[in-house]
Copies of this chain bind each other. A is one copy, B any other.
């Protein structure tokens, strides 16, 4: 059994992972690291972590696995800070929403220790942040994508895979580039659309929301995502996100053309295709 897993950043995802590890007995100790000892103490009282420290050396030393669960923009700083305490007994992983950029930061900062970094991303979340919203079942039946480095050892990858499978997740493997292309489409793009929709409505008529039905609430739910997290994702997955927004705008333009021309058949086709596909995805 694993003796100590350290979670750096005990927020929604870090907290949910900590809870899932404890619930499924995946490690003797779940150790939390953060900048604010009051928050860490609260997380300990809420039984999310067993121990905590605001001292990175203490947090990282003797860990079997260190999980970085902070916004992706903080990785450079955190990796630089933990590097002095790394050994070849410590495996590092992350939960970041982008992968290509993280892999390049890891190689740049960790050098030879990058062999021990196994990049991962659980496809799970909520519009709320903070460990107060965390759930031990958050990863249950959810996908976790591991994008291994060519220098990762098979047993390292295996250990991270086992950890995630232990939380109930289903692990897939792909390249960092495929991950970023895919997530740019299924997650980053919808978030950009939702943020922009809310901002468009604010600019037009801030009180319009009282006439919005349930569909709008669902649609805009993801616009309540954490601003810092999304800022970082935008910068790290910049090219993919811009490509997807531009591609999406072309699709939107075809729709505008069909409406402009009152092309009933085309509108029927567009909406029927979307409905059928969406129903089959969810069903």
Within the complex, what minimum Cβ distance (angstroms) separates A41 from chain B?
27
Inter-subunit contact B196/A251 (CB<8 Å): yes
Residues of B within 8 Å of A221, CB to CB, are: 215, 218-219, 278
Please name 6 further chain A to chain B contacts, defined as beta carbons within 8 Å, in addition to the given A182-B211, A228-B268, sorted by A numbering. Answer: A189-B200, A190-B219, A190-B220, A204-B244, A219-B221, A238-B259
- In A229-257, the 8 Å CB interface with B consists of 230-231, 234-235, 238, 241-242, 244-249, 251-252, 255-256
- Per the 8 Å Cβ criterion, residues 188-223 of A in contact with B are 189-206, 208-223
Number of interface residues of A (CB under 8 A): 88
Q: Determine if B270 and A215 form an interchain contact, defined as CB atoms under 8 angstroms apart.
A: no
Is A264 a contact of B209 with CB atoms below 8 Å? Answer: no
Contact yes or no, A199 B273, CB < 8 A? yes
Set B145, B201, B262: member contacting A186, Cβ < 8 A: B201
Which secondary structure dominates where chain A touches chain B? helix
How far does the alpha carbon of A211 sit from the alpha carbon of B212 in the complex, in Å?
Answer: 29
Min C-beta distance of A229 to chain B, whole Å: 9
Residues of B within 8 A of A213 (CB): 123-125, 142, 186-187
Quote the shortest CB–CB distance from A179 to chain B (angstroms): 9
Complex Cα gap A226–B197 (Å): 22
Is the CB of A274 closer than 8 A to any CB of chain B?
A: yes
What is the chain B residue whose CB lies nearest that of A198?
B274
| CB atoms of B252 and A196 under 8 A apart | yes
B231 and A267 form a contact (CB under 8 A): yes
Task: Say which residue of B199, B238, B268 sits within 8 Å of A231 (CB atoms).
Answer: B268
With contacts A182-B205, A208-B186 known, is A279 near B193, CB below 8 A?
no
Residue A260 lies at the interface, judged by CB distance under 8 Å to chain B: yes
- In the complex, what residues of B have CB within 8 A of residue A87's CB? none
Minimal beta-carbon separation of A51 from chain B (angstroms): 30
**CB contact under 8 A between A219 and B194, given known A123-B213, A204-B247:** yes
CA distance A208 to B141 in the complex (A): 17
Q: Find chain B residues with CB under 8 A from A205 CB.
A: 182, 185
A275–B202 CA distance with the chains assembled, in angstroms: 11
CB distance from A66 to the nearest CB of B (A): 24
Partner of A230, one of B172, B200, B203, B267: B267
Instruction: Point out the residues of chain B lying under 8 angstroms from A262, CB to CB.
Output: 235, 238
Can you name the residue of chain B whose Cβ is closest to the Cβ of A236?
A: B262
Q: Is A154 an interface residue (CB 8 A)?
A: no
